[in-house]
Amino acid sequence: MALSQRNFEALQHFSAYAPATVTATGAGSGVDLMGYDGDVVFVMQATAAGASAGFSVRLEHSDASGSGYEAITGGAFTDIANAAYLGHVTISKDDVKRYVRVNIHTETGTASSIISVTGFGAKKYQ
């Protein structure tokens, strides 16, 4: 898709996982993708998790905002290890269920990292 003024006006960002110090596994809140169109990009930033420590982070989806989440195929970020991390995952809104959340689902060692995930997508009706 070519970039145009309409694309920039429709582009929205949202917090998928607010910046927080993470020391254990756990999931964020669901984000409703109903009003978005096409691809949605999730950008994760994280500090190093520590020597011989790390986290695995993935996107999950569900038809309901509070339950029934399952992993999205192709929705895993590169594991956070002993180095700062910046990466992204792109999903097609049409290939996932209505609600998406970030899940820090595995911890290795005694990990500690500041993690945030921001989503970017085009609103359908701008």
Torsion 31-126-12-3 (CA) sign: positive
- Domain locations in the chain as residue ranges: 10-123
The pLDDT of residue 124: 83
Strands ordered across the beta sheet of 11-22: 11-22, 113-123, 36-46, 85-92
The pLDDT of residue 67: 93
The pLDDT of residue 122: 92
- 10-residue mean pLDDT profile of the chain (126 residues): values are 59 95 96 94 97 97 95 97 97 96 97 97 82
> In degrees rounded to 5, what are phi and psi of residue 102?
-95, 130
The pLDDT of residue 126: 58
Convert the pLDDT of each residue in 84-115 to its tens digit. 999 999 999 999 999 999 999 999 999 999 99
Residue 77 · residue 57 · CB < 8 Å = yes
Alpha helices in the chain (DSSP H): 5-10
**Fold topology of 10-123:** Jelly Rolls (2.60.120)
Six-digit token string for 61:
């989806």
Q: What is the DSSP code (8-state) at residue 79?
A: P
